[in-house]
Amino acid sequence: MSNATHSATLLISAPDKKGLVAAIANFLMTYNANIMHADQHQDNVEGLFLMRVQWDLRGFTLPMDDFAAAFEPIAREHDMSWKVSLSSRKPRMAIFVSKYEHCLVDLLHRWRIGELECDIPLVISNHEDCRRLVEFNDIPFHVIPVTKENKAEAEAEQFRLLEEAGIDLVVLARYMQVLSHEFVTRYPNKVINIHHSFLPAFDGAKPYHRAFARGVKLIGATSHYVTEDLDEGPIIEQEVTRISHRDEVDDLVQKGRDLEKVVLSRAVRWHLDQRILSYSNKTVIFD
């Protein structure tokens, strides 16, 4: 069993000034922390200091139940925003999907082999298409049809299921419905989406067909947190691949699927590993 299974991770953002690293390190050393990883970033434009620090809990003399009370005076002194997580507690992730299954398949495979450290208590869809795949993995599958007329009722049922399951993260694995303002505000920086990178030039229906008609030389995929501005939320990961004049529409679609599933899985893994800090509608991804 690796040290990581007995670790805690602290994410911090604060107005940048001298002494922040020392304050954090000295606090942890006071309680005999063995720091395993530490990474930091200064945003000179925003005047922000951002840090991720992970330490081994074996030998750490401060009970984690008392961590918040002990750390709060330092956080208050330096005007820090912070959160701490324990590797022993797996985040609980819900997946939303419609009919396209490539992202769902990739997520379930990575989860099954232990690459994604989380529990998946349920999958929610507005169609029946993926039921067999999900139930093969022994995960409850809930179909909630969504129309213009029943959208509020459908989301109320989604909220009920998510709350009952104690969900920490919602992943939209090609879920082809627009989330409401209420949904997004309930889960700030806790809803991850994937889309083709043609936005905004090729938004709407059949983006690959429209890209093909323009003779594009690159296609891509973008994963981001969902905000009230929908696809304008903080970007987590992007990837591109080149397109040849020999490629047909089907080739673009196939290459796009490959990009989408890899980019989404990377974003989900980094979120689960507590490697992302979001601010000013952008993100820092710590190594």
Residues with catalytic roles: 231
- The residue ranges of DSSP E strands in 132-285, in sequence order, are 141-143, 169-172, 191-196, 218-225, 235-242, 276-279, 282-285
Number of H helices, E strands in the chain: 8, 13
Torsion of CA 173, 52, 187, 203, to 10 degrees: -40
Q: How far is CA 161 from CA 21, 123, 144, 149, in A?
A: 41, 10, 11, 21
| CA separation for the pair 227, 179 (Å, rounded) | 9
Pairing of strands 191-196, 218-225: antiparallel
| CA separation for the pair 40, 14 (Å, rounded) | 11
| C-beta separation of 192 from 175 below 8 A | no
| CA separation for the pair 174, 153 (Å, rounded) | 21
127: tokens are 């169609």
To the nearest 5 percent, what fractions of the chain are helix, strand and coil? 35, 30, 35
| C-beta separation of 123 from 95 below 8 A | yes
| CA separation for the pair 3, 262 (Å, rounded) | 27
